[in-house]
Amino acid sequence: MELEKGFCIWFTGVPASGKSTVAAAVERRLRERGLKVENLDADEVRRNLSPDLKYSKEDRDMNTKRLAYLASLLCRNGVSALIAAVASYREFRDRARRMIDHFAEVWVDCPLEECRRRDPKGLYARGDRGEVDDIAGVHQPYEAPLNPEVHLKTDQMSVDEAADLVIRRLEELRYLPREEDEEVYSPEEEEKIKRRLKALGYL
């Protein structure tokens, strides 16, 4: 399925809330529908485009600005962009919304205790040992969205349930056609079928 313009989904939440996991599930669903999708992994983009940046507010600001700019370029060219990035401050995400025409903010909400229990990258454990002091929601502020397009409580639902909610909201926003609304045949194909049915006496 070709889109004239792509859309951007920004998954925000504290570390280990499930942003990347849900984004990957949504990506699979979109690819199954034939969409052009790019999953902009925040850590990968930082490693390749911003290796000089640390985790101060100013550096986080620059990294999120670069992510939003990349996403805006993709969306202008019909490629949808998924971004799983904390983006701690609302002003960072609001700027991305201004930069991208079709934008959806997804709050991946999970209690800090559960995030600590998951801790897939060992980030919270490192914080407890005093090795890092820049974890959003612990050492630095995390400003939760006020009016996200989607609010996922990932401690209360499965990954599939979360991804389904995101897809449903994209359909409601008309960023994504409902599957039942998608064309099965082109107008030319439909005309051929009608002629064939008429010749067979069905019409």
**pTM metric for this prediction:** 0.85
What domains are defined for the chain?
A: 8-199 (3.40.50.300)
Phi-psi region of 65 (alpha: psi -120 to 50; beta: other; left: phi over 0): alpha
Q: What is the pLDDT of residues 1-53, one digit of tens each?
A: 667 789 999 999 999 999 999 999 999 999 999 999 999 988 888 888 878 88
Eight-class DSSP state of 180: G
- Supply φ then ψ for residue 107, to 5 degrees: -90, 110
Q: What is the pLDDT of residues 93-125, one digit of tens each?
A: 999 999 999 999 999 999 999 999 999 999 999
Mean of pLDDT values over 153-164 = 96
| Residues 6+ away with beta carbon under 8 Å from 140 | 55, 57, 88, 134
Q: Are 119 and 17 in contact (CB under 8 A)?
A: no
